[in-house]
Amino acid sequence: MVFLALPDTAYESHLRDYFQTTLHHCRQGTLALVEGISSTVLRQQAHPDFSPVGWHLGHIAFTESVWILEHLAQQPCPFPDYQTLFAADGLPKARRQQLPSLKMLLAFLANIRQRTLAYLSVAPLTEQQRLWHWLIQHECQHSETISLVMALHQLQGKATPLRYPIGGQSGERSTTMIAIPGQSVCLGLDAGHDSHIAIDNEYSAHRVEVASFQIEPTPVTCEQYQRFITANGYRQRQWWCEAGWDWLQVTQVNQPLYWPTQDLAKFRHHPVCGVNWYEASAYARFVGKRLPTEAEWALAAKGLASKLPTLLQNGQLNCDHRLGHTSPVGLSAQAVSDYGCYDLLGNVWEWTDSWFRPYPGFQAYPYQGYSAVYFDDRHRVLRGGSWATRSWALRPSFRNWYEPHVRELFMGFRCAL
């Protein structure tokens, strides 16, 4: 297909360079995850709620084809045979294991990317940039899902390229609760430049009033959570909400999913990882506290948005697979909010007490089902990102959402009062 070149302003040129570079680096990170992957880990489900690694690779390419080549460039689908297999609403997750080989999947990714870059060279980016930002973040999100699927395979004894966690001491941060005075806080992203990178559920920016509260300076650590386990917290009804207790009777779990059973002493300063909302809220009751609301979490993170570019540039955040797993809390003296909270970005996602609901003025983008179908009062909001969150999807305003029983993501929490 022949494209007609459009006038290339300085801003368009800047955007073109930015997207070309970012697409390249984002894809490098995705491909690095599957280097040396076995056919078993590539194709098999590790959990009924999650598709195989190979499906995510194909879905990344398929989505790029749909939104860039078909939607923007008006090209016909170059791989029609893959439409059912890799569409999000195509096959049930259990039927996504009959996949092409890794070689074929990588060729699919490369072919679509070559076509995408050809269109990028002439695309009217000023008017299209939100969709390009969305596409990059879409790959980031599936890259993180690949990481958790591989972690699940690792738990089941299948070899994966994931690295093991580092040990070490924390930055000796205080555990004293931080008092934050009542005030208003902005939820969502402001108009202007931010509007191009925002996911639809971050719209629109609005202020809400928050009463005074206290919050812990770091996420709950394994050492702290061990007290709940030792006190037989998983078998005492008094700490659990009704739905959480019902879940516990069915699953009969007695520790977090990614619990360092063999080496707890080495990882006692790491944040607890692999807990669901039920476990997080039960622990909070056990220590006489609660989970923070989404607005409280956002207020505790005040000041981090402006620091984020520097923190990323200087490697001060445990994200983007920089370390390969969780790290001790409070390591970076720079990665601290105005109120003195650490580890609010990266390391582990943090559960909040808020339901995932639309902000005032919400408009679905780029399609109706992206966020809107989850506004069902069955999903809780998580904030902050994890060690596997890519930098392009890491910011204080980013909202993740999962049902309360899910514990497979790299999830932790901090308590409030």
Contact 407, 283 (CB under 8 A): no
- Angstrom distance (rounded) from CA 153 to CA 187: 36
pLDDT higher than threshold 50 for residue 2: no
DSSP 416: B
The CA distances from residue 350 to 128, 312, 330, in Å, are: 32, 19, 15
Structure confidence at residue 92 as a pLDDT band (50, 70, 90): confident
Q: pLDDT at position 3, please?
A: 41
Q: pLDDT at position 4, please?
A: 45
Structure confidence at residue 39 as a pLDDT band (50, 70, 90): very high
CA 204 to chain centre: 20
pLDDT, average across residues 159-172: 54
SS3 268: coil
Which class for 409: exposed (0-12), middle (13-18), buried (19 or more C-beta within 10 A)? buried
| String of DSSP letters for 89-109 | TSS-GGG------HHHHHHHH
pLDDT, average across residues 316-329: 94
Which class for 220: exposed (0-12), middle (13-18), buried (19 or more C-beta within 10 A)? buried
**Residue 15: which of 153, 126, 176 has the closest Cα?**
126
Contact 65, 79 (CB under 8 A): yes
Reduced to 3 DSSP states, what percent helix, strand and coil does the chain have, rounded to the nearest 5?
Answer: 40, 10, 50
* pLDDT digit string, tens, across residues 211-264: 999 999 999 999 999 999 999 999 999 999 999 999 999 999 999 999 998 888
Tokens 């609760």 belong to 177
pLDDT higher than threshold 90 for residue 160: no
- The CB density around residue 98, as the number of other CB atoms within 10 Å, is 11
- Angstrom distance (rounded) from CA 308 to CA 316: 9
Q: pLDDT at position 338, please?
A: 97
List of residues 6+ apart from 149 with CB closer than 8 A: 46, 47, 50, 51, 52, 53, 56
pLDDT higher than threshold 90 for residue 377: yes
- Angstrom distance (rounded) from CA 353 to CA 120: 41
| String of DSSP letters for 120-162 | HTT--HHHHHHHHHHHHHHHHHHHHHHHHHHHHHHHTT---SP
pLDDT, average across residues 36-65: 95
pLDDT, average across residues 123-143: 96
